[in-house]
Amino acid sequence: MSKSKDAGAASIILNYLNVKNRPYSAQDVFGNLQKQHGLGKTAVVKAMELLAQQGKIREKVYGKQKIYFADQSQFTDVSDTELKSMDGKISELNSQIQGVQQDCRQLDAELRGLNSSMTTKELISEIEELKKECVESKQRLERIKNATNHVTPEEKEKVYKERSQFVREWKKRKRLTNDIMDAVLEGYPKSKKQFLEEVGIETDEDCKVTVPNV
């Protein structure tokens, strides 16, 4: 590595240790700076040893591991009152961080749920298709009921099984639709009625139909 690159790495590391003002191993510094600055591990080790030799940072050896930290003589003394104030601010910020992290986890969970659900366009298409299937099935069932002399018991049983299947599917899709709409409405600024009007969804109630018993 060239001298200019060595100097650049040393400058980055020195500034990092002074700003953080806490002990780090060379591996810690490499892990923290590698992604942002593209420093290699060898360059980090070499720069930290050089800075320690120059007295710009301090070095402590614990067994086989070396720990580096900022030269404390460059910092002004802090009174007990100031330390207590800083501790209070740190505690307050930690509480805020925990709250934000909790909010983020909740929002991530909601986002994953929404991403795994159908889009509004897909939902509308599913609803329309389901309504069409229900109407066709009802019409077919009525024709079959009215033509009892032409229907065998086996055919009649098959039709009623199909009807039960369609009704179960109707209930399932209606429940899924309501769950998705509830999730969307949590962040929707208007009422449920306005949402339905804007996306063009007609409910069973709008069509004056009810889900029959299986």
DSSP 8-state code for residue 128: H
Instruction: Report whether 18 contacts 74 (CB < 8 A).
Output: yes
pLDDT at 2 over 60: no
Q: How confident is the model at residue 6 (pLDDT cuts 50, 70, 90)?
A: low
Q: What is the pLDDT of residue 58?
A: 92
Q: What local confidence, expressed as pLDDT, does residue 13 receive?
A: 92
Q: What is the pLDDT of residues 64-122, one digit of tens each?
A: 889 999 988 888 877 888 888 888 888 898 999 998 999 888 888 888 877 777 777 88
**Averaged pLDDT score across all residues of the chain:** 84
- Has residue 23 got a pLDDT over 70? yes
Q: Is the pTM of this model over 0.85?
A: no
Contacts of 113 (CB under 8 A, 6+ apart): 183
Specify the DSSP element, H or E, that contains 55: none
Angstrom distances, CA of residue 56 to CA of 5, 17, 27, 119, 133: 18, 10, 19, 58, 78
- Provide the CB-side half-sphere exposure for 121 (13 A, CA): 0
Q: How confident is the model at residue 36, as a pLDDT?
A: 84
